[in-house]
Amino acid sequence: MAEFVTLETSEDHPGVGTILLHRPPMNALSRQVQSELAAAAEEATVRDDIKAVVVYGGPKVLAAGADIKELNDLTFAEASKIAGRLQHDLGSIADIPKPTVAAITGYALGGGLEVALGADRRIAGDNAKLGVPEILLGVIPGGGGTQRLARLIGPSKAKDLVFTGRHVRADEALAIGLVDEVVAPDEVYNAALAWAGQFRNAATVALAAAKRAIDQGLGVDLDTGLKIEVAQFASLFATEDRAIGLQSFIENGPGKAEFTGK
């Protein structure tokens, strides 16, 4: 049984799994928390009853970064050994082949923001503060932050945040594309559940293919990206959902298919 990170479902929100971080007071991302996060992401991946995922740290904070005491004790040799695991665990949300959304309340700093960057969408409370302050400790983001941040908001804006280590408030985060929606703090989780809930009856194999095509295409040139799209598109013609969706459209019009997820 995980101590700090759990995967929860509710009858009120069928098809939606919540990866909940709970390590008071600030959800510091110790190595144990990182490992449990990766395990929860893997469980969300393999469970057929979960169609979309919310990442949430509770009403006060998503996560305020790594456990600094653990980092302080690392030697170069030790850091070299764990760096890959750090990047894998904090980036594990990005590996879930289903729609994911980070529900950000309070602080999402350092590793906390890196976790959120792995989601497909980010919804923040208007009290949220986001940033990658590692430079103020004499290091840089090591959980994917330099790469995912630059791809999301562009290299110039990413360098500003990484070089200065400054905190970004919700309104600026929205303006630069760091978050996609800003709501009242007590509505963050509900807004995330609502977004994730729209996929509970969707064609899950097609969603995974779409996510794979977009994510893999971002790392290659356009011609290679188009080839990735062709392969993903063609693969869906081996699925039950493709047959169901096309036949339903012919018989009943759009938006009425009842997919099986196969």
Q: How far is CA 13 from CA 18, 68, 190, 211, 219, in A?
A: 10, 36, 10, 22, 34
Q: How many helices (H) and strands (E) does the chain have?
A: 11, 9
Q: Which of 114, 181, 240, 258 is catalytic?
A: 114
Question: 192 and 54 in contact (C-beta within 8 Å)?
Answer: yes
DSSP-assigned letter for residue 211: H
What do you get for the CA distance between the two ends of the chain, in Å? 30
Question: 2 and 39 in contact (C-beta within 8 Å)?
Answer: yes
Q: Which of 36, 134, 240, 251 is catalytic?
A: 134
Burial class (CB in 10 A: 0-12, 13-18, 19+), 225: middle
Is 114 part of the annotated catalytic residue set?
yes
Is 42 part of the annotated catalytic residue set?
no
d(CA 121, CA 107): 17
- Tell me which residues are annotated as active site: 114, 134
